Amino acid sequence: MAKSPADGATLFSPFRMGKFQLSHRVVLAPMTRCRAINGIPQPALVEYYSQRSTNGGFLITEGTMVSPTSAGFPHVPGIYNGEQVEAWKKVVQAAHAKGAIIFCQLWHVGRASHEFFGNESKLVYQPGGGAPISSTNKPITGRWRILMPDGSNAKYPVPRALKTSEIPEVVEHYRQAALNAISAGFDGIEIHGAHGYLIDQFLKDGINDRTDEYGGSISNRCKFLVQVVRAVAAAIGPDRVGVRVSPAIDHLEATDSNPRSLGLAVIEKLNSLQLDWGSKLAYLHVTQPRYTAYGQTESGRQGSEEEEAELMRTWRRAYHGTFICSGGFTRELGMDAVAVGDTDLVSYGRFFISNPDLMERLKVNAPLNRYVRAYFYTQDPVKGYTDYPFLNQGSHKKHDPLSRL
């Protein structure tokens, strides 16, 4: 459903996202930061999310494990047990104290995980020592490596393709995680169906080689996502559920032969669900194709910007509901996208890492702190995490070049 550009709309205009009234359109994108020691949100996470909270602002947490075997990074938070829920309550309370709306991103990495660490002497990411699960038994190959707990990088192992009979149990993990998130006080959840992780491994025909009802046709490949969305929406309500997809992104070798058609098929399924419910999802969150070039480094060859923009517009016009864009947005690109109606909201990632007051900086067009990539995935609770200065505190030292993400 195409939307007309809102007269005079900017990144700083208010927006009604379903039941939530937002005061501006600058969204904190979900980003892995590896500070939740042993899967438990620490006080540092309370400070981190509080710093980035604004009255009427919208935050999406880092990817949060839906089960003990869903991780693929060290020290990422979970939402599958009581201790994690209690720890998340403090984060949510801090964000709410600033007037922010906060969703928890539900995450299962699928084959992007590992079994052993240190000559197979120690289990890692898979507590039972089993192979990571996926739609396939094909491993991630090529240039991709997994980050291990000691900071080293390792090759991805061979995954295990889920049996058809096992899939409902994984769907249940998402459903229970959503209920747990609401128990923790979150305003809603985002289903991570993007960037080469488990749901994307079912969606993309470059990975999914199944011959059962979850493989083959686009409709079959969408089935797992649809089942997760149905289950979660039934548990907490559609208006508390966002969905993130990336049909055109090749992160972790998640390629598809026809990204445009895949994106439209996903949108058709979501629109149909909304029609059946008589209620809309909170939003659809789509990653720009240019993330392919800039996802891992600051350099890379971009595709045609006009082709990328038209692809996003095609999906934007097709979806009946709030649309969020992410990936590669500068202030100018975000302002333009909102002004012409290409998106309702813009989520920012790495700029938000180094600029806790990003919305205010963008609003006054102030200089941005440069982020320090070396601290993206460390466990230091302060350095490169909560020590980036606000606008009135001066500049951070020893920065890497600015990223477009």
Convert the pLDDT of each residue in 223-239 to its tens digit: 999 999 999 999 999 99
Contacts of 225 (CB under 8 A, 6+ apart): 191, 193, 199, 202, 203, 243, 245, 266, 269
Task: Give the 3-state secondary structure of residue 57.
Answer: coil
- Tell me the pTM: 0.93
Look at residue 289 in the predicted model and tell me its pLDDT: 81
Among the listed residues 363, 365, 361, 359, the one whose alpha carbon sits nearest the alpha carbon of residue 396: 361
Distance CA 209, CA 216 (A): 7
Radius of gyration of the chain (CA): 20
Look at residue 297 in the predicted model and tell me its pLDDT: 44
Whether 146 contacts 72, CB under 8 Å: yes
Distance CA 201, CA 246 (A): 11
What's the one-letter identity of residue 310?
A: E
Find the catalytic residue in 80, 125, 197, 348.
Answer: 197
Look at residue 403 in the predicted model and tell me its pLDDT: 32
Among the listed residues 168, 38, 172, 192, the one whose alpha carbon sits nearest the alpha carbon of residue 110: 192
The ranges of the chain with pLDDT < 50 are 1-2, 292-302, 396-405
Contacts of 296 (CB under 8 A, 6+ apart): none
197 is catalytic: yes
Distance CA 344, CA 322 (A): 6
Contacts of 321 (CB under 8 A, 6+ apart): 18, 270, 274, 280, 281, 283, 284
Pairing between strand 20-22 and 15-17?
A: antiparallel
Distance CA 125, CA 351 (A): 29
Distance CA 51, CA 61 (A): 13
Contacts of 45 (CB under 8 A, 6+ apart): 35, 36, 77, 91
In 97-155, where do the E strands start and end? Answer: 101-107, 116-117, 122-123, 133-134, 146-147, 153-154
Q: What angle do CA 222, 15, 54 make, to 5 degrees?
A: 100
Whether 233 contacts 270, CB under 8 Å: no
Distance CA 267, CA 139 (A): 28
